[in-house]
């Protein structure tokens, strides 16, 4: 009888745990198994993407949909982000601030601070071509959840005395209010400035846009100690800062 009661209690706890996990942005959902050779090929593809050996790629190969889904939803992505943030925090602990208000840190927004995973789930995890109108509609909802490890990093940076700049390619004229509201409701409060792409950068590449912004900050007297982004174009160009850190993103590439 006692064993039966223990079994019932165990099933009850597992059921509750499954429901809680199901609400997480990165929780696993079932995906069809891949043949081993195909899985290995997609793993190599993802490694090439993260190492920037395939700059400017347009969409995820269709046969890698299951691989990317499993990576993003099965726990490995979250674990990778957590590990990278640990490395960033180790570096931050060694930085000696000047204390003059000019110690700066740059964070990208999309899929660095807040996640578009719910949007890309409906776009076959990047297998579908980019849909500008659909993405704008998604941003306007203001429903991007915080990436927990990066939110924790952001809080430590602000409390540690860094001037944190959030730098994004989102359009200032149309997306600024929704973006700022989304950041605030997810806990990103205390940053020094959010910098959007404005009309003067229309048609310019992400590298040119972000380089110019960083250069301007340096000319204002800021020392950029760190720069974090999910795209290689966040981490290329001029005035990169003392250290750069790449957050994984196999779902899309910003040229």
Domain of residue 69, CATH code: 3.40.50.1000
- Kind plus residue range of the DSSP H or E element containing 179: helix 172-185
Residue 80 in this model has a pLDDT that exceeds 70: yes
**Residue given tokens 């991007």 in the structure block:** 144
Lowest mean pLDDT among 11-15, 150-154, 240-244: 11-15
> Stretch 186-201: mean pLDDT, rounded?
96
Assigned domain for 7 exists? no
Assigned domain for 168 exists? yes
The whole-model pTM stands at 0.85
Assigned domain for 146 exists? yes
Sheet with 193-197, side-by-side order of all strands: 193-197, 163-171, 103-108, 223-229, 243-246
How many other CB atoms are found less than 10 A from the CB of residue 92?
Answer: 17
Looking at per-residue pLDDT, the higher value among 25 and 221 belongs to 221
Residue 24 in this model has a pLDDT that exceeds 80: no
Q: Residue 200 belongs to what domain range?
A: 53-246
Q: What is the DSSP letter of 115?
A: -
Assigned domain for 24 exists? no
Assigned domain for 5 exists? no
For residue 66 the two structure tokens come to 């299951």
For residue 18 the two structure tokens come to 């499954």
Assigned domain for 59 exists? yes
How many other CB atoms are found less than 10 A from the CB of residue 56?
Answer: 9
Assigned domain for 41 exists? no
Number of domains in the chain: 1
Assigned domain for 201 exists? yes
């Amino acid at each position: 009888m006692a064993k039966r009661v223990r079994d019932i209690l165990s099933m009850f706890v597992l059921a509750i745990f499954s429901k809680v996990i199901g609400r997480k942005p990165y929780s696993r959902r079932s995906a069809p198994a891949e043949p081993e050779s195909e899985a290995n090929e997609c793993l190599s593809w993802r490694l090439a993407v993260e190492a920037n050996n395939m700059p400017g790629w347009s969409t995820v190969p269709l046969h890698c949909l299951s691989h990317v889904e499993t990576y993003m939803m099965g726990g490995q992505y979250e674990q990778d982000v957590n590990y990278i943030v640990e490395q960033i925090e180790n570096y931050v602990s060694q930085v000696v601030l000047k204390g003059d208000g000019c110690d700066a840190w740059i964070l990208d927004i999309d899929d660095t601070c807040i996640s578009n995973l719910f949007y890309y789930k409906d776009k076959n995890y990047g297998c579908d071509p980019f849909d500008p109108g659909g993405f704008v509609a998604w941003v306007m909802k203001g429903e991007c959840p915080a990436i927990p490890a990066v939110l924790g990093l952001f809080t430590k940076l602000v409390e540690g005395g860094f001037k944190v700049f959030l730098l994004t390619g989102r359009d200032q004229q149309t997306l600024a209010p929704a973006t700022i509201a989304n950041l605030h409701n997810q806990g990103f409060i205390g940053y020094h400035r959010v910098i959007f792409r404005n009309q003067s950068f229309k048609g310019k590449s992400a590298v040119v846009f972000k380089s110019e912004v960083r250069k301007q900050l340096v000319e204002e007297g800021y020392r950029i100690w760190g720069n974090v982004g999910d795209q290689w174009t966040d981490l290329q160009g001029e005035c990169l800062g003392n250290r750069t850190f790449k957050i994984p993103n196999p779902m899309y590439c910003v040229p």
